[in-house]
A and B are shown apart, each in its own frame.
Chain A
Amino acid sequence: AQSVTQLDSHVSVSEGTPVLLRCNYSSSYSPSLFWYVQHPNKGLQLLLKYTSAATLVKGINGFEAEFKKSETSFPLTKPSAHMSDAAEYFCVVSIPFTGGGNKLTFGTGTQLKVEL
């Protein structure tokens, strides 16, 4: 079984300050991990993905995440928040289905608010 826990349902930061969104996972397999972002009334956009290559993954818009196997965590960070980063962020674990395809397990999401 696999699961994803996003420890904060809401995070609020000031513009120009660092962002940290926490994510813990559990998986019986060596997982692939993703972060998706969803702006209000929009679809899901892939920010970055980890697929067992480098543990530090760089994504779009200055975001990055580090795969920490010993802590079973995959935190998302950005050095300096921008107003346009305000959105909901989902941490996702992926493992292969037995019959093919990938099973994605989504965290419950973290709403990021960026204040002036």
Chain B
Amino acid sequence: NAGVTQTPKFRVLKTGQSMTLLCAQDMNHEYMYWYRQDPGMGLRLIHYSVGEGTTAKGEVPDGYNVSRLKKQNFLLGLESAAPSQTSVYFCASSYPQRLQYFGPGTRLTVL
């Protein structure tokens, strides 16, 4: 039982490049979330999903897209990376109205 895993752990991009972050969970959770963590700002919700095939915007969705084609996976995409997207990204999953379990994070730098 691996819990919540994230791929990759680290990535460096140039401005304008695209990439996809993968989150996987093996706990059969319905809900999945993407957050970003910036110094002095805590974690902020980017997008979330309440089930396979559904997604919704969080607090800071601009510049990101997500997809939930399979229940266990939640993908976060950056179509054209900007330096302002340099951050640590955390994925989480949960049962409805239950505790969220967090992945180890992906450290992304955009030059």
Cβ contact of A106, chosen from B43, B50, B56, B105, cutoff 8 A: B43
- Grouping DSSP codes into helix (H, G, I), strand (E, B) and loop, the B interface class, with mixed when no group exceeds half, is loop
Cβ contact of B42, chosen from A43, A102, A108, cutoff 8 A: A108
Q: Is B74 an interface residue (CB 8 A)?
A: no
Contact at A90–B42, with CB atoms within 8 Å? yes
Q: Is B34 an interface residue (CB 8 A)?
A: no
Q: Closest CB-CB distance, A14 to chain B, in whole Å?
A: 26
Q: How far apart are the CA atoms of A97 and B31 in the complex, in Å?
A: 11
Q: Is B45 an interface residue (CB 8 A)?
A: yes
**Given A102-B94, A106-B42; A43-B50 close (CB under 8 Å):** no
Q: Closest CB-CB distance, A105 to chain B, in whole Å?
A: 8
Contact at A44–B90, with CB atoms within 8 Å? yes
Q: Closest CB-CB distance, A21 to chain B, in whole Å?
A: 14
Q: Is A68 an interface residue (CB 8 A)?
A: no
Cβ contact of A100, chosen from B45, B50, B100, B105, cutoff 8 A: B50
A to B contact number (C-beta, < 8 Å): 53
Q: How far apart are the CA atoms of A97 and B104 in the complex, in Å?
A: 24
Contact at B102–A43, with CB atoms within 8 Å? yes
Q: Scan residues 68-116 of chain A and give those whose CB is less than 8 A from a CB of chain B.
A: 90, 96-97, 99-104, 106-109
List 15 additional A-B contacts (Cβ < 8 Å) besides A9-B40, A103-B45. Answer: A4-B42, A42-B104, A44-B43, A44-B102, A90-B42, A90-B43, A100-B31, A100-B97, A101-B48, A101-B94, A101-B97, A102-B31, A102-B94, A102-B97, A102-B98
Q: What would be 21 A-B contacts, judged by CB atoms less than 8 Å apart? A: A4-B42, A9-B40, A36-B102, A42-B104, A42-B105, A46-B99, A90-B42, A97-B50, A100-B30, A100-B31, A100-B50, A100-B97, A101-B31, A101-B33, A101-B50, A101-B94, A102-B31, A102-B100, A104-B43, A108-B42, A109-B40
